[in-house]
Structure 1
Amino acid sequence: MPILRPRQDVCAKRVLKALKVTSSTLAVAPTGAGKTFILSAVCSKLPGRHLILQHSDKLLEQNKATYELWNGTDTSIVNANCKDFTGQAVFAMVQTLSRDGTIEALDHFHFDVLVIDEGHHATAPTYKRIIEAVKAKNPNVKIFLVTATPMRGDGAGLGQVVDSVADVITLEDLIAAGNLVMPRTFIIDIGCQQELQDMPIVGIDYDMDRVAEIMNKDIHNERIVKEWQEHAGDRQTIVFCSTVQHAKDVCAAFQKEGIKAGVVHGSMTTTERDNTLNAFECRQLQVLVNVMVLTEGYDCQIVSCVVLLCPSSQHSTLLQMIGRGLRIVTPDKYPDESKEDCVILDFGTSCTNHGSLEQNVSLEDQRAFGSEGGDAPSKECPNCEAPNPLSVKVCSLCGQEFNPAAMQSASLSTFTMREVKLVKQSPYKWQSVNPRVLVSTSFNSWAMVIFHKDTWHAVGATANNTPVAYLAKGKRLAALSAANDFMCRYGSTADSGKRKSWLRKDATEKQLKALNDPLNFGMNRYEAACRLTLKFNKAAIGKLIN
């Protein structure tokens, strides 16, 4: 059974605690938090039959495979091609299960746990119909919602479905742990911002046809491409536009400059859309322009720039758009890639209006209140600690100049503290073998973080004579996070957790003889094991990182 990351483990425990005292609860977990790992771990502690609702066939298959790591393979699927309710855990497509002719099957099957992935959809009529049918058969069913964006665009509160919020994982939590990259945001006014600011909200969002009238002009599109070339010209990029014609014209502006760009929108066939997405993921396209097709359920790790060409009145939509670029890159998918941050180019008003990227969470209906808001992006003066707009170079209160070098120093200090926190929270001990190598080992796996050729590399292997795996490269924290995840998945705290007493015993004579180093006196058993792991695998590691 895999081991959760520290923050995932905290979330799972809080959900279980909440479900002991209430019948339903919500966990908020941003993109990259590992929602499926959390819900699978929670389900492993809840007895009885489970029904897990999904809204995407692709996600259904992925989540089912992850769930089986914790809970075994007694699972079944309900979708357009298969309607099997016999599994101990049933993964069901909402679109299929809510239909007449299928939902009646719930009259004959008892479920003890109902899990709703992308739980912000739970107040929609299709979901509510399923919830009511499950509760009719078992009024005591436990309901668990997990979502990255709990505040719905229509203002409908999730309090209609759940009684409590068990936990809120923040983007800062995930960035601090190295599970997401840092967003670098540039707010660029090409002469449209005042008009966009003055636009009224129609229904739950802006009138996108009117947005297109303001933004979709040749002079603006040419400027957008120029700014992109300056700030992110070498990055895989997703662009969000207001209308299909806007997207086509922006795509044409990129292509005019010789940039390989494509468009995806809701009017395309599934085959056309999949072919375009595959071309982007294979780097045959560098820029992917879309009209709100990629806000949810699309994950491509190599995206390192997001361009916003449409304002959003909803904070949750902004998070979904920016979240497309925050995932870290894993070498098993992209062995030659590294990613340290994501550039956000906002040519509209979303970042200005909403400010903070963190979620405000309320289970109450918001339809009677104003739109969601946030503080505008700011930074703190190092002299008087007054908040200042992100773009200023001189403090508006005391006149202190912002020193880029000093700000970098503060950033590095924070970075180091985050790394220390990650090591402290890990269930495994990380041993510094030398200033360039950190090692963690257990009886059935090991992992290392190595600085080589100006970057950090994470490698690991299981003890079954399997080849050394290349896990990540980039900043030290990102590499350490990937290596720690590997240990959590394949290691065993039962024999090698950091609190085990054998780790602190003196090294054995056999270990010292194998090390053959006269300076290795006073070494404990665990440090010796780590040094031997490096010695025995040095050649294989060298082939991977050179």
Structure 2
Amino acid sequence: MAVDLARRTELQEQVTTAAAAALLSGKNIVISAPTGFGKTNMAIDVFQRLIAERPDFRVLVVQDRQAIGAQNIARANSLGVKDASLSINGEFDPSGQAAYGITKTLYANRHAIGHRDAVWIDECHHATADEEAQHSAIINAVLKINPNAVVMGTSATLERSDKAKLHPALCNGERFHVTYEEAAGCGAIVPPKVTCPEYRLSNGKTVAETVDEILDPNDPSVPAVGIQKALATSRPHDFFDTSIRAWLKANNGTPVPTFAYTNTIKDADLLCAAFQEAGIKAAVVHSDLSPALREKAFADYRAGRVQVLSSVNMLTEGVDVTRTQSLLCLKETTSRSEWIQINGRGARAHTEAGFDKQAYTVIDMGASTYMHGSMDKYRKIENFIAKGPETPTTKYRPWKDLSAGQPHNIKIYGLHDGLRTVFAVRPRNSKRFLLLQKNEICFGRNKATTRLVKPISPKTFTPDEIIEYGRQAVAKRFDVFTTLESRPKGSDHHEIVKRSFAESQNMLKIFSGEQAISQPRERASLSR
């Protein structure tokens, strides 16, 4: 897929121009954009704009991994930032106008950082409000030495699985966001093709059935303990061979360049061995290997001498090999941010002679899609939140139509946000809707406590207000809607709404005055 360079540059410059202006005015900022859109280049462009305005402007760049630090300082040099230094492996060098450094080294020397006008936190979702955390301690040290310094963060995902807040400078910073649809629209990233092969675990159940015994079926955002252990201890004896067969099937029998993810180093080694036994060139990259062996594995993969790299967590953030066409996930990513980062490894566009990547495949042998949703749904829902339902590219509607079969032109719509089901009811001869809610608390399947249906507000709502209410509900619980919309038919968002409606009909009749309300006949969604 060819990248529309002019359109991508236009989008990038819209962000970098506004971001540089905000920083020059003394504001902190956060730039979020999909992996593959060019966050690193955008950040460098921001600082070049700052240096053009203030030639003595000095920035500290905080990065988490040695390879990424070296990679990005080389990229900065290629883009015109010549006065750059790198602090790594305990060797502290703050001499550069752009002083790059690995988190651990900078943390150890944070009180000697000296004069800085700005600090850039790459992968800023790691910088929490915890003052003892390394990223936050570095930010605080810079601000203590330089009270007027500004803070910039970049990340593909700002959410954290532990719900911890980001550092105050980032929480309160001005946000600049590029959606997945915008990145895909200019060809910077390609779409995913997600496969969740169904197979039986040693306990006789499917992955979904096993997870459902632990996960709250109505609110998948509630942290669930024990999912990884339940699945890991129930893997079938031929799990690695089954995974390789599913991978080949998803890629039409062709061993394409692939990142593979496992829960443990032992599993990474076993999966690599299984690929090799199947005649597919594979290598591992993990912390038990020397840096030299890891670098050789990456070099072989980039050169095409190896088709599969197997790892636990070294292929999650900041590793950009655009020829990667497939992601094989054998682990249960309990963090949605990690799941988004993993998906980003295959999304970056790649075009060269004989190799034009149109999409990437995701083969999820674990429960990540079931717990966090697919990136396809993520993209549609994110675009809905950002753009609203009025744009041609917005294909998502959160309200589920329950009106089929209702007499007297009664209209009923419902949505479920994990905590409650909300019903919008338009009685006969009315142009406005009543909003009612049915709260649910669930501690595992079949353990729900249902509260009485009650009005959300005494006022009534126009159709446009109902649509906007739905958009705001989705924005507040993006993770829940993404997961529930990705579920297979029978346990998805629409089925939850239908089940809740069946339990609520009598109360809806009372509040609406419509005694003729009945169960709907078919599926649909609210649109204009």
TM interval, short-chain normalised: 0.5 to 0.7
Distance in 2 separating the partners of 1:149 and 1:43: 22
Contact 1:281 1:300 (8 Å CA) reproduced: yes
Residue 179 of structure 1 corresponds to which residue in structure 2? 188
| Alpha-carbon offset, residue 177 of structure 1 | 0.7
* 352 and 397 in structure 1: CA distance in 2 versus 1, 3 angstrom threshold: farther
Structure 1 window deviating more from structure 2 (231-240 vs 189-198): it is 189-198
Who is 1:341 aligned against? 359
- The one-character-per-residue Cα deviations of 1:63-120 (angstroms, maximum 9, x if unpaired) are 2344346664233332237533233222222211211xx33323xx221111111111
Distance change (3 Å), C-alpha of 1:11 and 1:93: same
Question: Are 1:220 and 2:239 an aligned pair?
Answer: yes
Whether 2:18 is the aligned partner of 1:9: answer no
Secondary structure of 1:303's counterpart equals: coil
The equivalent residue for 1:146 is 154
Tell whether 2:284 aligns with 1:263. Answer: yes
Deviation at 1:127, TM superposition (A): 1.5
Cα drift, residue 131 of structure 1: 1.2
Q: Does the CA-based 8 Å contact 2:257-2:325 persist in structure 1? A: yes
Find the counterpart in structure 1 of residue 257 from structure 2.
236
Q: 2: distance between equivalents of 1:236 and 1:268?
A: 21
Residue among 316, 336, 348 paired with 1:295: 316
Map 1:490-501 onto structure 2 (within 5 A): none
Cα separation, 2, equivalents of 1:296 and 1:145? 15
Q: Say if 2:291 is the partner of 1:278.
A: no
Name the amino acid aligned to 2:155.
T
| 2:392 is equivalent to residue 373 of structure 1 | no
Match of 1:351 among 369, 372, 375: 369
The more displaced of 72-81 and 299-308 is 72-81
Does residue 196 (structure 1) correspond to residue 211 (structure 2)? The answer is yes
- Tell me, yes or no, if the aligned pair for 1:186 and 1:343 is still in contact at 8 Å: yes
CA distance change for structure 1 residues 399 and 86 in 2, over 3 Å: closer, same or farther?
closer
- In structure 2, the partner of 1:430 is none
CA contact (8 A) 2:268 2:312 kept: yes
Is the CA contact (8 Å cut-off) linking 2:136 and 2:167 kept in structure 1?
no
The answer on whether the counterparts of 1:74 and 1:89 sit within 8 Å (CA) in structure 2 is yes
The one-letter code sitting in structure 2 at the alignment partner of 1:34 is G
Equivalent pair of 2:326/2:360 in contact (CA under 8 Å): yes
Instruction: Note closer, same or farther for the CA distance 1:156–1:21 as it changes in structure 2 (3 Å cut).
Output: farther
CA contact 1:209–1:243 (8 Å) conserved in 2: no
CA distance in 1, matches of 2:86, 2:248: 46
Residue 157 (str. 1) matches residue 175 (str. 2) = no
Call closer, same or farther: CA 1:269–1:110 in 2, change over 3 Å: same
1:309 aligns with 2:330: yes
Deviations 1:304-359 (A, max 9, x none): 1111222222211111111111112243xxx5422111011112222233223359
State the distance in 1 between where 2:334 and 2:118 align. 35
In structure 1, the residue matched to 2:115 is 110
Does the C-alpha gap of structure 1 residues 251 and 213 become closer, same or farther in structure 2, counting only changes over 3 Å? Answer: farther
Q: Secondary structure at the match of 1:145?
A: strand
What is the CA-CA distance between 1:275 and the residue it aligns to? 2.3
Name the CA shift for 1:180/1:205 in 2 (closer, same or farther; >3 Å).
farther
Change (3 A) 1:70 1:398: same
Q: Distance in 1 between matches of 2:372 and 2:191?
A: 18
Give the superposition deviation at 1:246.
Answer: 2.7
**Map of 1:43 onto structure 2:** 47
- Please say if 1:137 is aligned against 2:145: yes
Kept after mapping to 2: 8 A contact 1:180/1:326 = yes
Q: Do the aligned partners of 2:190 and 2:348 also contact (CA within 8 Å) in 1? A: yes
Shift of residue 256 of structure 1? 3.2
Please give the alpha-carbon distance, in whole angstroms, between the structure 1 residues aligned to 2:305 and 2:362: 22
Residue pair 1:44, 1:70 contacting (<8 A) in 2 also: no
CA contact (8 A) 2:214 2:224 kept: no
Structure 2, unmatched stretches of 5+, are: 201-205, 216-220, 384-475, 487-492, 496-519
Letter in 2 for 1:230: K
Shift of 1:169: 1.3
The residue type paired with residue 45 of structure 1 is R
Distance in 1 separating the partners of 2:308 and 2:81: 41
- 2:231 is the alignment partner of 1:211: yes
Mapped partners of 2:225, 2:60: distance in 1: 33
Identity of aligned residues (%): 26
SS in 2 for 1:374: helix
Distance of 2:224 and 2:287 partners within structure 1: 20
Structure 1: gaps (5+ residues):
362-368, 380-386, 390-395, 401-546
The SS at the match of 2:288 is: coil
- Name the CA distance, whole Å, in 1 between partners of 2:169 and 2:71: 25
In structure 2, what is the equivalent of residue 382 of structure 1?
none
1:512 alignment partner in structure 2: none
Q: CA RMSD in A?
A: 3.4
Work out the CA distance in 2 between the residues paired with 1:245 and 1:152: 27
> Is residue 25 from structure 1 mapped to residue 29 from structure 2 by the alignment?
yes
Instruction: Provide the C-alpha distance between the structure 2 equivalents of 1:282 and 1:270, rounded to a whole number of angstroms.
Output: 18
1:121 aligns with 2:126: yes
Per the alignment, residue 498 of structure 2 pairs with none
Show CA shifts across 1:139-166 (max 9, x none).
1111110111211233221153321342
Aligned length: 372
Trace 1:81-92 onto structure 2 (pairs within 5 A).
82-92=91-101
Q: Are the equivalent residues in 1 in contact too, given 2:190–2:360 (CA < 8 A)?
A: yes
CA contact (8 A) 2:48 2:81 kept: no
Q: CA deviation at 1:202?
A: 11
Tell me the TM-score normalised to structure 2 length: 0.63
| Partner Cα distance (2:79, 2:303) in 1 | 32
* Contact 1:310 1:348 (C-alpha < 8 Å) held by counterparts: yes
Q: TM-score, normalised by structure 1?
A: 0.61
CA contact (8 A) 1:54 1:93 kept: yes
